[in-house]
């Protein structure tokens, strides 16, 4: 039996707080006119107190799950693609696994900056196609506002926070993920980086005072790299899928800069109406930008059953990649019974998490005390 990996659920979560270009122009030497003309961004979402990469990821993941006939316990794998993880470890994906109550799932984070969602989707799809797993949740989630230097006008105007998620399920029905291209060039790593906080530059007073924990970027170099790779990766993934470019109904590109997307469209000879654009409202949400754009396209009916889609991204690393898929329509509307189920599941996942923590404390008291006694 040939197995296929289909997207059966999708969900997004963005913070309520909107930061406009106008507000930014009060914070640094910039203007709405400059930001819109150079990037296409008008506003972005910024997390508030109590929100984080894991909380956005869990919310998007729960929304994606509720569209499917799966419960969290049916998931075999949770991947969170992120450049702004909750911690160095534990993985953000483990926090999401616990929060959703995905008790049978392996979980890990995927670090490939803005290309992470595409790579995560391909990893999960291949695991499904080979029969290793049946159901996976792939999330792109970011709180880049926490890594931005809010005094650097060259970067702080670009990024925003948010999360988007896909549920992938095994099926015998042809379609779903068709092909993927994954590439990297570490020689360009310093073009876009957060230099400190890892093992190379552990946190010191000096790294903090030199702002080495914030995003450092050579915008022009990233721009040149991006315009070079976007069209090439798209062509390659379409060819690998055995398709022609004009059979692609929709391209969902990473939302980093409207001009980069326009340049890719020109390079491919495709009209801009085949590209999903929502950068004006969210800015660059890195690994979350493609699933957020996909969720909005689905909500607006821009993706229909049978459509061939290409997702294409580039980012820090340097990394870039593309994925071709044929959309096979799941039910767009969520029945109220599933919404109720989601609330109940979320409640029990919280209770389960608390109980497990209490058991761990009790075990620590018992075994900790006895091991001291043994000494
Ligand atoms: N407001 C006003 N002026 C600004 C701003 C700002 N926010 N930022 C830079 N400028 C100035 C510069 O200082 C420069 O002034 P100068 O000529 O006096 O030196 C001038 O504007 C032009 O600067 P450029 O860098 O040439 O501007 P450019 O047209 O290249 O646009 C931008 C800059 C928007 C950053 C562009 O290069 C870009 O989008 N690059 C790609 C960035 C990107 O996609 N990064 C994310 C990658 S994905 C990931 O992995 C996270």
| 215 Cβ closer than 6 Å to some ligand 1 atom | no
Q: Is the pLDDT of residue 359 over 70?
A: yes
Any bridge partners for residue 179, and if so which? 324
- Respond yes or no: is residue 295 known to be catalytic: no
| Listed range (185-199, 284-298, 333-347) with the worst mean pLDDT | 333-347
Which two tokens mark 344? 């109940």
- Identify the helix (H) or strand (E) that includes residue 131: none
Query: pLDDT at position 350, please?
Result: 87
Atom of ligand 1 nearest to the CA of 314: 48
Atom of ligand 1 nearest to the CA of 254: 48
Q: At what angle do helices 116-129 and 289-299 cross, to 10 degrees?
A: 70
Any bridge partners for residue 79, and if so which? 108, 138
Nearest to 250 by CA among 273, 234, 231, 269: 273
**pLDDT tens per residue across span 52-108:** 999 999 999 999 999 999 999 999 999 999 999 999 999 999 999 999 999 999 999
Nearest to 95 by CA among 55, 66, 62, 64: 55
Q: Is the pLDDT of residue 331 over 90?
A: no
| 119 Cβ closer than 6 Å to some ligand 1 atom | no
Contact 97, 107 (CB under 8 A): yes
State the DSSP code for 247: G
Q: How far apart are CA 154 and CA 214, in angstroms?
A: 12
φ/ψ of 133, rounded to 5, equals -140, 170
Interval between CA 78 and ligand 1 midpoint (Å): 35
State the DSSP code for 104: T
Nearest to 93 by CA among 105, 83, 78: 78
Q: Is the pLDDT of residue 332 over 70?
A: no
Query: pLDDT at position 370, please?
Result: 60
> Taking the CA atoms of the chain, what radius of gyration do you get in angstroms?
21
Interval between CA 199 and ligand 1 midpoint (Å): 29
Nearest to 46 by CA among 161, 158, 144, 151: 161
Length of the chain in terms of residues written = 375
Contact 99, 349 (CB under 8 A): yes
- Among the listed residues 21, 122, 254, 257, the single catalytic one is 254
Any bridge partners for residue 6, and if so which? 169
Interval between CA 158 and ligand 1 midpoint (Å): 9
Token pair 């030199």 in the structure block, residue: 210
| 87 Cβ closer than 6 Å to some ligand 1 atom | no
Nearest to 324 by CA among 307, 343, 308, 335: 308
Nearest to 161 by CA among 145, 148, 147: 145
For ligand 1, atom 35, name the residue with the nearest CA: 219
Q: Report the SS3 class of residue 17.
A: coil
- Among the listed residues 94, 114, 156, 295, the single catalytic one is 114
Query: pLDDT at position 340, please?
Result: 77
Residue 286 CB neighbours (<10 A): 33
**Rounded to two decimals, what is the model's pTM?**
0.94
- Respond yes or no: is residue 216 known to be catalytic: no
Q: Is the pLDDT of residue 342 over 80?
A: no
Which two tokens mark 331? 């039910």
- Respond yes or no: is residue 114 known to be catalytic: yes
Contact 336, 132 (CB under 8 A): no
Q: Is the pLDDT of residue 196 over 70?
A: yes
**pLDDT tens per residue across span 161-187:** 999 999 999 999 999 999 999 999 999
In this prediction, residues 2-10 reach a mean pLDDT of 97
φ/ψ of 176, rounded to 5, equals 75, -145
User: E strands along the chain, which residues?
Assistant: 4-13, 18-20, 43-45, 77-81, 106-110, 135-143, 161-171, 176-184, 192-193, 216-217, 250-253, 308-315, 319-326
Interval between CA 217 and ligand 1 midpoint (Å): 9
For ligand 1, atom 7, name the residue with the nearest CA: 153
**pLDDT tens per residue across span 266-305:** 999 999 999 999 999 999 999 999 999 999 999 999 999 9
| 19 Cβ closer than 6 Å to some ligand 1 atom | no
State the DSSP code for 334: P
Interval between CA 254 and ligand 1 midpoint (Å): 17
| Listed range (109-113, 307-311, 321-325, 330-334) with the worst mean pLDDT | 330-334
Query: pLDDT at position 375, please?
Result: 44
Arithmetic mean of pLDDT over the chain:
95
């Amino acid at each position: 039996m040939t197995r296929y990996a289909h997207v059966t659920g999708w969900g997004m979560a963005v913070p309520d707080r909107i930061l406009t270009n106008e507000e930014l122009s009060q914070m640094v030497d910039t203007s709405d006119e400059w930001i819109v003309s150079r990037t296409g961004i008008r506003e972005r979402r910024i997390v508030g107190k109590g929100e984080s990469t894991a909380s956005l990821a869990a919310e998007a993941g729960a929304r994606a799950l509720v569209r499917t006939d799966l419960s969290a316990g049916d998931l075999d794998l949770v991947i969170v693609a992120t450049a702004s993880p909750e911690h160095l470890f534990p993985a953000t994906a483990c926090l999401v696994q616990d929060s959703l109550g995905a008790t049978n799932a392996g979980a890990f984070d995927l670090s490939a900056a803005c290309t992470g969602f595409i790579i995560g989707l391909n990893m999960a799809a291949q695991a499904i196609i080979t029969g290793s797993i049946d159901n996976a949740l792939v999330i792109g989630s970011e709180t880049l506002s926490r890594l931005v230097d809010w005094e650097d006008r060259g970067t702080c105007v670009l990024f925003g926070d948010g999360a988007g998620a896909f549920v992938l399920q095994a099926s015998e029905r042809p379609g779903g993920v068709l092909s993927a291209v994954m590439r990297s060039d570490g020689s360009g790593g310093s073009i876009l980086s957060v230099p400190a906080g890892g093992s190379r530059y552990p946190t010191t007073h000096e790294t903090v005072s030199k702002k080495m924990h914030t995003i450092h970027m050579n915008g022009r170099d990233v721009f040149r790299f991006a315009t070079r790779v976007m069209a090439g990766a798209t062509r390659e993934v379409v060819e690998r899928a055995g398709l022609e470019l004009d059979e692609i109904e929709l391209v969902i590109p990473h939302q980093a800069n409207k001009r980069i997307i326009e340049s890719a469209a020109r390079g491919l000879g495709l009209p801009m109406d085949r590209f999903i654009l929502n950068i004006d409202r969210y800015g660059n949400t890195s690994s979350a930008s493609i699933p957020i754009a996909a969720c909005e396209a689905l909500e607006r009916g821009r993706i229909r059953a049978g459509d061939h889609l290409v997702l294409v991204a580039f980012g820090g690393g340097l990394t870039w990649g593309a994925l071709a898929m044929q959309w096979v329509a799941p039910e767009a509307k969520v029945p109220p019974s599933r919404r109720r189920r989601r609330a109940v599941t979320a409640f029990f996942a919280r209770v389960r998490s608390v109980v497990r923590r209490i058991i761990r404390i009790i075990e620590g008291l018992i075994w900790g005390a006895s091991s001291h006694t043994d000494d």
